[in-house]
Each structure stands twice: as structure tokens, then as C-alpha cells.
Amino acid sequence: MGALHPREPDWRTEIVRHALGALSQDTRFPIVDRGESDRFIVIVSLVGETRPLARLADLDPWSEGLLVEADERSAVLLPGEAKTARWEFSQACRLAGIDPAAPHSMTRFSTTTWIGYPEIAGASEERSSP
């Protein structure tokens, strides 16, 4: 869960809001009880520069995320969530309820990702996609 552009006044508030939403409002997974939250790995991906994408063939799904928009619908896949650009596009369309043949816009982006392990105080790892 998250957003491409921040809505909160600072990053800390933004990250906490989305983390709590992921634990309690993400309909893809069961709601997490308070006692379970320390067993999870925390992954935060900050979106970098966004650039319009004219041709799907120009997308590198390993290092670039994809935003697909049509009318009021949109969906995002992060870098590394797809093996091919075509699959990334089809999944984004499916998630947003967009007909892949309908007029749409595509935006690509890179991310900086932090991975934290709550059970190991202070342990984290940082990765960047180009």
C-alpha cells in the first residue's frame, strides 16, 4: 500500500500511515494483530523521478516500476515485481480494471528501497533501482 506522491507533511508520517494501512486495510491479506507485527519485514520504497513511457518495449521491469492510468483508474507495480514488461502492464491493467486495449497512459519510475527487520534492532538494508 502506498502512494506515488506524498500526502502527509513529512516522510515519517507518510510511511507510518501506509505501514498501518498495510497491516490493517490491505484486502489481499488477513488483518495483522498487534502481537504479530514484530514478525514482519518492513519494506519501504520511495519513488524517484517519474517519466512518461510511450513504448512498453522501453520498460525494464527489474529496475523500473510502472503506473498505468485510464480515466479515473490507475495501478502501480514496483520494480522487480514482474519478469517482463508485458506481464507488468497486464497486471497493472488487471489491478486497476483497465481494458489493455483502451486508451491509457503509462509512467515509469525508479525507487529507493529500505528493508528493515524489526526483530533485529537497527538492522536494515538499502537498495536502489536506477
> Is residue 95 located within the same domain as residue 63?
yes
Residue 11 domain flag: yes
Residue 60 falls inside a structural domain: yes
Report the distance separating Cα 13 and Cα 38, nearest Å: 19
Query: Is the domain of 34 the same as that of 59?
Result: no
Judge whether 128 lies within some domain.
no
Residue with cell 494501512: 21
**75 and 106, same structural domain?**
yes
What is the tally of structural domains in the chain?
2
* Host domain of residue 90: 46-112
Together in a domain, 53 and 92: yes
What's residue 18's pLDDT?
85
Cα gap 3→67, rounded to integer Å = 11
51 and 88 part of one domain: yes
Both 34 and 80 in one domain: the answer is no
Is residue 125 assigned to a domain?
Answer: no
Q: CA-CA distances (angstroms) from residue 42 to 39, 55, 98, 113, 129?
A: 10, 33, 30, 10, 18
Do residues 129 and 80 make contact, with C-beta atoms less than 8 angstroms apart? Answer: yes
Cβ within 8 Å of residue 64, ≥6 positions away:
79, 108, 109, 110, 129, 130
Residue 34 and residue 70 in one domain: no
Is position 130 within any domain?
Answer: no
- pTM of the entire predicted model: 0.78
Q: Is residue 51 part of a domain?
A: yes
Mind listing the pLDDT tens digit of every residue in the chain (130 residues)? 788 788 899 988 888 888 888 888 888 778 888 777 677 787 888 899 999 999 999 999 999 999 999 999 999 999 999 999 999 999 999 999 999 999 999 999 999 998 876 554 444 455 555 5
Q: In degrees to the nearest 10, what's the CA dihedral of 62, 122, 20, 109? A: -20
